[in-house]
Structure 1
Amino acid sequence: MVAVTTRTPLIAGNWKMNLDHLQAVAFVQKLHWALKDAKHEFDAVDVSVFPPFTDIRSVQTLIDADKIPFGLGAQDLSAHDSGAYTGEISGAFLKRLDVAQVIIGHSERREYHSESDELVAAKVKAALKHGLVPVVCVGETAEDLEKHGASAVPVGQLEVALDGVASTAEIVVAYEPVWAIGSGQAATPDQAQEVCATLRDVVRAKLGDDAAARTRILYGGSVKAANIASFMRQPDVDGALVGGASLLVDEFAAIIRFQKHVGV
């Protein structure tokens, strides 16, 4: 029998290569104040921030000291635990900094650093080994969309990423149509729902019904306060991976508060 699972929405802010450690601390403080002033219900929506590596310690110290209810994530990790891998960051190091989640397979890593599906899969296993929740990014380019349709490429990417993953593992999937990222032109809610539903079917096929029921699937790509509610009305969209808008305190706070400002 499949367990009935209520998935808490997750709004994740990927800062990319923005904000130094001092700016990061100020931003987290301002975001927390903005949400408190607006009487945000922190238990209703999970919030995670993914700062650059150099900011993580400062943000972690602030979150712990002020008991700020934000999750802390990293933007990448190495497939290796340790060794002669200059410039890479081990999952073991991230875990010691109380990092809870890590983005894996972001389209910018795939494009600019030539990360293959197989490397992404290795990083997923490394994250799980060290008790980190992988946020597995999948998505198609405009060329992929025209040639294969919206689901084919992300489905293939996710199938490889989940190879060998235990059915009990906690993962997050982020569908990010590459053609929408930073373009100002988001996918339609119906497009997002169609692909996210198909990705949930992949999780079901690879990990089972319970995993499919509990796994959160996010949409990412030109997300803003003006369109977040339309995505969150979709049954298989459980949150958003937000890029540029996550660097604007008021805008990101409004995205997080989608339930209030649009009556969802």
Structure 2
Amino acid sequence: MRPLVAGNWKMNGLRAALSEVTTLAQMHPTPSCDVLICPPATLLAPMAEVAAGTSVAVGGQDCHAAASGAHTGDIAAEMIADAGGTAVIVGHSERRADHGEDDATVRAKAEAAIRAGLTAIICVGETEAERDAGRTLDVVLGQLAGSLPEGSLGASVVIAYEPVWAIGTGRVPELSDITEVHDALRADLAKHMPEAEAALVRLLYGGSVKPGNAAEIFGIENVNGGLVGGASLKASDFGQIVAAAG
């Protein structure tokens, strides 16, 4: 399975930062993995133009469930596709926490992404309190069941496991903990789609992925790449993570 390394720029980046995409593409003209950057919406179209014809694809950080309408400040999946995007992140823990998004909302957004021809990167993950209570698998598999659209195919969805307590904190679970969750996700996917399709779904790990730990994380059997936050903002860092996936 070809790995995917996706960068989530979150609420960071002005037009000057587009040079990082050019640098990254020059560093990895033919990478051994798929490379995706999800910038803020203001940079979607210009980044797609800069990345056109290179190894770097562009995606959105969120989308609305509707294709259009009176939703001030929102962006439709069709708009992301029209701007040159090929994927969109849905259900990131920061959206779930800051905007109160529940599994049903995430599922509707994932359905919208698939409707628009985008790959839906569906995020799941537990809080520190849930982890300490021994509820990691219950929470993660529950989010998967509630957020995954019915009839999903392996090529249309990506699942990103991001332990909430590890995002941006520098803390990373033990490799055995990551293995446990990813193995459980792989097995559980077969309950929601044909086994052959479940085997095609890429499972990403996210949560303080850095150049120094990427190789060992990507070496885990059911880790098929990463969803990278702060370390994706600079080509010098992100390029090393891309190399680790090869």
After TM superposition, the score normalised by the length of structure 1 is 0.89
Identity of aligned residues (%): 38
Q: Does 1:154 align with 2:155?
A: no
Aligned partner of 1:224 in structure 2 is 210
Match of 2:73 in 1: 87
Counterpart check, 1:191 vs 2:184? no
Structure 1 residue 31 corresponds to structure 2 residue 24: yes
Q: What pairs with 1:47-196 in structure 2 (closer than 5 Å)? A: 47-64=35-52, 67-167=53-153, 170-196=156-182
Please tell me the residue identity of whatever aligns with 1:178: V
Structure whose alpha-carbon radius of gyration is higher: 1
* 8 Å CA contact retained: 2:48, 2:83: yes
- 1:15 equivalenced with 2:3 (yes/no): no
With over 3 angstroms needed to count, the CA separation of the structure-2 counterparts of 1:128 and 1:163, relative to structure 1, is closer
What is the CA distance between 1:168 and its match in structure 2?
A: 5.9
- 1:11: how far off? 0.6
Indicate conservation of the 8 Å contact 2:3/2:245, yes or no: no
Q: Please give the root-mean-square deviation of Cα atoms over the aligned residues, in Å.
A: 1.4
Matching residue's letter, 2:20: F
Is the 1:11–1:48 contact (alpha carbons within 8 Å) kept by the matching residues of 2?
Answer: yes
Question: For the residues of structure 1 that align with 2:229 and 2:148, how far apart are their CA atoms?
Answer: 24
Displacement after TM superposition at 1:27 (Å): 1.2
Could you tell me which amino acid in structure 1 is paired with residue 195 of structure 2? D
Deviations 1:75-130 (A, max 9, x none): 00001111111111111111112211000000000000110111001111111111
- Indicate whether 1:205 and 2:198 are aligned: no
Q: Give the 3 Å change call, closer, same or farther, for CA 259–10 of structure 1 in structure 2.
A: closer
Structure 1 SS opposite 2:221: coil
Residue 128 of structure 1 contacts residue 169 of structure 1 at CA under 8 Å; is this kept in 2? Answer: no
TM-score of the pair, normalised by structure 2 = 0.96
1:259 shift after superposition: 5.2
Other structure's SS at 2:192 match: helix
Q: For residues 36-69 of structure 1, what are the alpha-carbon distances to aligned partners after superposition, in whole Å with 9 as ceiling and x for unaligned?
A: 5xxxx42x211000000000111111122xx211
Conservation of the 8 A alpha-carbon contact between 2:122 and 2:159: yes
Superposition deviation, residue 26 in structure 1: 1.1
Conserved in 2, the CA contact under 8 Å of 1:225 and 1:252?
yes
Alignment gaps of 5+ in structure 2: none
- Secondary structure of 1:11's counterpart equals strand
Q: Answer whether contact 2:110 2:149 (CA < 8 A) is retained.
A: no
CA, structure 1 residues 12+163, in 2 after alignment: closer, same or farther (shift >3 Å)?
A: closer
How far apart, CA to CA, are the structure 1 residues paired with 2:152 and 2:214? Answer: 32
1:163 Cα deviation from its structure 2 partner: 4.3
Amino acid at match of 1:13: G
Query: What CA deviation, in whole Å up to 9, does each residue of 1:203-225 have, x standing for no partner?
Result: 11101211221110000001011
The 1:199/1:168 distance shift into structure 2, 3 A limit, reads closer
Q: Tell whether the 8 Å contact from 2:214 to 2:245 is kept in structure 1 after alignment.
A: no
Partner of 2:225: 239
Q: Distance in 1 between matches of 2:177 and 2:108?
A: 29
Number of aligned positions between the proteins: 246
